[in-house]
């Protein structure tokens, strides 16, 4: 560290302020200050930069030191603020700002807790209704809806006529509507 800090600070210091010997502060506290900063800044090169900036800032503000604390305490305060600012900037740069329109595109409208609870309750009631149906009707309905089969594929799989498949599926849909009404009507009435 050069003597320019000491001469600059004493020349710029007003008569009422305390004179700080930055060269002595550097000699006495550089290593300890570096270890202190490394607690906050994990990268050793960044910690060195923060320590260097600490002494630059101390030289810049030395004339404003009022002597209300020890010079080392003042110096460590500067280092702490610079280390925190460094980390904030580092982590802020990792996060890209996202446009609100983009967030709305990826927002899950089904994530509303009330909506999820309502859907679970309705699903439980529909499941109970399906379990109460005769086994042949339930098997037909499950083949069409759960198996993603067409009426023709379900008829072939269950070895029954296509008309029977349509009739059974229609019976289940009618029972669900009678029990719960149309879900669209329920949502619009809320």
CB contact set of 130 (below 8 Å; sequence gap of 6+): 138, 141, 142, 172
pLDDT exceeds cutoff 90 at 187 = no
Q: Where are the domains of the chain?
A: 4-94, 110-189
| pLDDT for the residue numbered 32 | 93
Q: Tokens representing 37?
A: 């900063």
pLDDT single digits (tens) 104-156: 666 666 667 777 788 788 888 878 888 888 888 888 888 887 767 788 888 88
pLDDT exceeds cutoff 50 at 4 = no
Return the CATH class of domain 4-94.
Answer: mainly alpha
pTM of the model: 0.43
User: Measuring CA to CA, how many Å separate 157 from each of 30, 67, 146, 174, 178?
Assistant: 82, 91, 14, 24, 29
pLDDT exceeds cutoff 90 at 19 = no
Instruction: Decide which of 13 and 111 is more confident.
Output: 111
Q: What is the mean pLDDT of residues 156-171?
A: 88
> Residue 184: CA atoms inside 13 Å, Cβ hemisphere, count?
0
The third-level CATH classification (topology) of the domain covering 110-189 is: Arc Repressor Mutant, subunit A (1.10.10)
Q: What is the mean pLDDT of the chain?
A: 79
pLDDT exceeds cutoff 80 at 38 = yes
Instruction: Decide which of 188 and 148 is more confident.
Output: 148
pLDDT exceeds cutoff 50 at 14 = no
């Amino acid at each position: 560290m050069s003597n320019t800090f000491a001469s600059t600070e004493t020349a710029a210091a007003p008569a009422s302020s305390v004179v700080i010997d930055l060269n002595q502060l550097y000699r006495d506290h550089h290593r300890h200050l570096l270890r202190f900063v490394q607690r906050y800044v994990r990268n050793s090169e960044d910690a060195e930069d923060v320590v260097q900036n600490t002494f630059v800032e101390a030289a810049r503000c030395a004339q404003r030191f009022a002597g209300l604390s020890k010079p080392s305490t003042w110096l460590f305060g500067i280092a702490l603020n610079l280390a925190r600012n460094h980390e904030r900037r580092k982590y802020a740069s990792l996060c890209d700002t996202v446009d609100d329109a983009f967030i709305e595109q990826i927002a899950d409208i089904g994530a509303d807790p009330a909506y999820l609870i309502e859907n679970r309750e309705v699903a439980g009631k529909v499941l109970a209704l399906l379990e109460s149906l005769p086994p042949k009707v339930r098997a037909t309905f499950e083949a069409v809806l759960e198996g993603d089969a067409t009426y023709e594929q379900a008829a072939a799989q269950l070895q029954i006529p296509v008309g029977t498949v349509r009739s059974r599926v229609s019976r289940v849909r009618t029972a669900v509507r009678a029990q719960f009404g149309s879900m669209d009507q329920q949502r619009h009435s809320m």
